[in-house]
Amino acid sequence: MPGYREEPGVDPVSSVETFVALRLDIDSWRWAGVPVYVRTGKRLPQRITEVAVAFQRPPQLPLFPGSDPEPDALLLRVAPSEGLSIRFGAKVPGRSFHIRQASMDFAYAEGFPRGSADAYERVIFDALLGDPTLFIRADEVGRSWRIVDPIIGYWAASSDPIPLYQAGTWGPREANDLVAADGRRWRHSGR
Could you read off the pLDDT of 71-106 as tens digits, one per residue? 888 999 888 888 999 998 888 898 877 788 899 999
- Residues of the chain above pLDDT 90, percent: 34
Element spanning 49, H or E: strand 49-54
CA distance 52 to 36: 10
Residue 73 phi, psi (nearest 5): -150, 150
pLDDT digits (tens, 9 = 90+) for 34-49: 899 999 999 999 888 8
CA distance 54 to 39: 15
- Residues of the chain above pLDDT 70, percent: 90
pLDDT at 60 over 70: no
Q: What is the mean pLDDT of the chain?
A: 85
Confidence grade of residue 180 (pLDDT, cut at 50, 70, 90): very high
What was the pLDDT predicted at 41?
92
CA distance 1 to 7: 10
* pTM strictly above 0.85: no
Burial class (CB in 10 A: 0-12, 13-18, 19+), 165: buried
Lowest mean pLDDT among 33-42, 50-59, 65-74, 139-148: 65-74
CA distance 142 to 148: 10
Going from the N-terminus, what domains does the chain have, and what CATH number goes with each? 4-180 (3.30.360.10)
Please tell me the chain's helix, strand, coil percentages from 3-state DSSP, rounded to the nearest 5.
Answer: 25, 25, 50
22 within 8 A of 36, measured Cβ to Cβ: no
**Terminal alpha carbon distance of the chain:** 24
Q: How far is CA 14 from CA 18, 43, 166, in A?
A: 10, 16, 15
CA distance 78 to 80: 7
Strand partners, 100: 90
